[in-house]
């Protein structure tokens, strides 16, 4: 939302990336900008406008266009929908999914929103305190989670199809990263901890092909 420069035209900001990386003149770059904006669902005339004339959803689209400017193989989207309304969020997710299919783009989606992950991701890596807690396909993460953190995180997330079950929060707070617990980083908040958890950090092991868990209580 605040990633665009407020005092420069949106089109010029996108053109900057193109001209920096490819030897094209301004005219060719602005033609390219028009095309990019159309790809993300903004009419090319809007290139001459400033960020404040864009709505939140459009700004996020413009940011996506900027990211696509040099035809990347991989797109890193860091909480791309967090500041947006639900309907605009759905539009942006739809856009990312279409781009992924049409441009054969790989996407790393960084988010705390488990709903968004379930909607569009193929694989999921759950992180805690700077380490991998669990890594598996999206289906396994949601239906056969093994790490206690993954399990509790899923129970803390509201499910509109099943609102009667009560929301369970995870007690405590994530550890401060300058004073990490000596053993497993989730140990202070874990409901299934044993003695070894406080002293030894669990290694990441494959419990099944493609399903990795770092927990003393699971597998190896």
Partner 1 sequence: MEHNTQPRDTVLQVKNLRTLFPVSRGIVGTLLAKPRRHVHAVDGVSFSVAKGEILGLVGESGSGKTTTALNVLGLVEPTEGEILFSGQSVPALVQSRERLRLRQQAQIVFQDPYESLNPRQTVFATVAEPLEVHRLVKNRAEKIEQVTAALDAAGLKPPETYFDRYPQELSGGQRQRVVIAGALVLNPRLLVADEPVSMLDVSIRAEILNLLHQLRDERGITILYITHDLATAAYFTDRVAVMYLGRIVEIGPTKTVLSDPRHPYTQALLSVIPVPNPRRRRKRMILTGETPNPIDLPSGCRFHPRCPVVSDQCSQTEPQLQSVGADHQVACLSV
Residues that bind partner 1 (CB under 8 A): 55-57, 85-91, 93-94, 112-116, 118-119, 121, 138-139, 142-143, 152-154, 156-161, 163, 166-170, 173
Give 193's Cβ-side CA count (13 Å radius).
Answer: 18
Question: Residue 64 in contact with residue 40, Cβ under 8 Å?
Answer: yes
Question: Residue 218 in contact with residue 207, Cβ under 8 Å?
Answer: yes
Cβ 131 to partner 1 shortest distance, Å: 17
Count of beta carbons in the 10 Å neighbourhood of residue 51: 20
CB of 7 or CB of 87, closer to partner 1:
87
Per DSSP bridges, beta strands 211-213 and 131-137 are antiparallel
Rounded CA-CA distance 132/202 in Å is 10
CB of 29 or CB of 145, closer to partner 1:
145
Buried/exposed 2-15: b ≥16 CB within 10 Å, e otherwise: eebeeeebbbbbbb
CB of 101 or CB of 166, closer to partner 1:
166
CB of 75 or CB of 114, closer to partner 1:
114
Sign of CA dihedral 145, 147, 150, 154: positive
CB of 42 or CB of 75, closer to partner 1:
42
């Amino acid at each position: 939302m605040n990633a665009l420069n407020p005092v420069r035209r949106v089109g010029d900001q996108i053109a900057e990336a193109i001209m920096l990386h490819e030897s094209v003149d301004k005219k060719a770059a602005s033609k390219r900008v028009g095309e990019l904006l159309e790809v993300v669902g903004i009419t090319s005339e809007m290139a001459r406008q400033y960020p404040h004339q864009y709505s939140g959803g459009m700004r996020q689209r413009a940011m996506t266009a900027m990211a696509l400017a040099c035809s990347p193989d991989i797109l890193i989207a860091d909480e791309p929908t967090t500041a947006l309304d639900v309907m605009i969020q759905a539009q942006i997710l739809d856009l990312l999914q279409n781009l992924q299919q049409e441009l054969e783009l790989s996407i790393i989606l960084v988010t705390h929103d488990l709903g968004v992950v379930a909607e569009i991701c193929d694989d999921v890596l759950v992180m805690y305190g700077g380490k991998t807690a669990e890594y598996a396909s999206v289906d396994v993460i949601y239906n056969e989670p093994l790490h206690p953190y993954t399990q509790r995180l899923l129970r803390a997330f509201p499910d509109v199809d099943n609102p009667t079950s009560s929301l369970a929060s995870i007690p405590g707070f994530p550890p401060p990263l300058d004073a990490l617990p000596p053993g497993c980083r989730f140990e202070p908040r874990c409901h299934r901890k044993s003695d070894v958890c406080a002293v030894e950090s669990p290694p990441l092991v494959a419990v099944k092909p493609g399903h990795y868990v770092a927990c003393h209580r699971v597998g190896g």
